Every structure is written in structure tokens, then in C-alpha cells.
């Protein structure tokens, strides 16, 4: 779970950068975990990744994943900092 959560958060950072945003501008997040017994492990990384004072509205749900080896998936909505030309 630790490795997969780190990978997901790095992907979120990369996608946010592509649209001129960052984790300070998250509006909402949905986190899907394969097994809620793994929640605390994921949440420790999430809490460290989120900038203080910028935690978005968040839901965390247990879900059947597309592949059995997947333990976590993260979906976010963020504000874009500037309009693109």
C-alpha cells in the first residue's frame, strides 16, 4: 500500500502540473482502497502529502479494483491557477 500510494500521489502531482495547478488547490478527492484494513497506511502518506491548511473535501471508500494487485486509486478535482492562452 505504501508504494502504490506514493505512486498515485506522484501521478496526481504530475497531472496537476500539466494543468498549471498543484496540491494547494485541490477541491475534492476520492480515494478508493481495496481493503479498508489498509486505510491507515494510505492515510499516513496522504496526510503528509497534503499541505497544512489545504485539505480538500475527501471521501475514502472500499472498492473492487480492476486488477487484484491494485490496492489504491485516487481521483481529485483541482482549481486551475491561470487561464491558458
Residue 81, pLDDT score: 72
Beta strand residue intervals within 1-85, DSSP E: 26-33, 57-62, 72-78
Cβ(28)–Cβ(56) under 8 Å?
yes
User: Whole-angstrom Cα distance, residue 26 to residue 68?
Assistant: 29
Residue 85, pLDDT score: 52
Mean pLDDT value across residues 6-31: 96
Structure confidence at residue 9 as a pLDDT band (50, 70, 90) = very high
Residue 83, pLDDT score: 62
- In tens, the pLDDT along 20-74 reads 999 999 999 999 999 999 999 999 999 999 999 999 999 999 999 999 999 999 9
Amino acid at each position: 500500500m505504501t508504494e502504490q500510494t506514493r505512486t498515485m500521489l506522484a501521478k496526481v502531482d504530475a497531472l496537476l502540473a500539466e494543468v498549471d495547478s498543484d496540491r494547494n488547490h485541490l477541491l475534492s478527492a476520492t480515494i478508493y482502497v481495496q481493503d479498508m484494513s489498509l486505510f491507515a497506511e494510505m492515510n499516513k502518506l496522504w496526510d503528509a502529502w497534503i499541505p497544512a491548511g489545504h485539505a480538500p473535501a475527501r471521501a475514502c471508500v472500499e472498492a473492487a479494483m480492476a486488477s487484484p494487485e491494485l490496492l489504491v486509486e485516487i481521483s481529485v478535482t483541482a482549481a486551475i491557477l491561470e487561464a491558458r492562452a
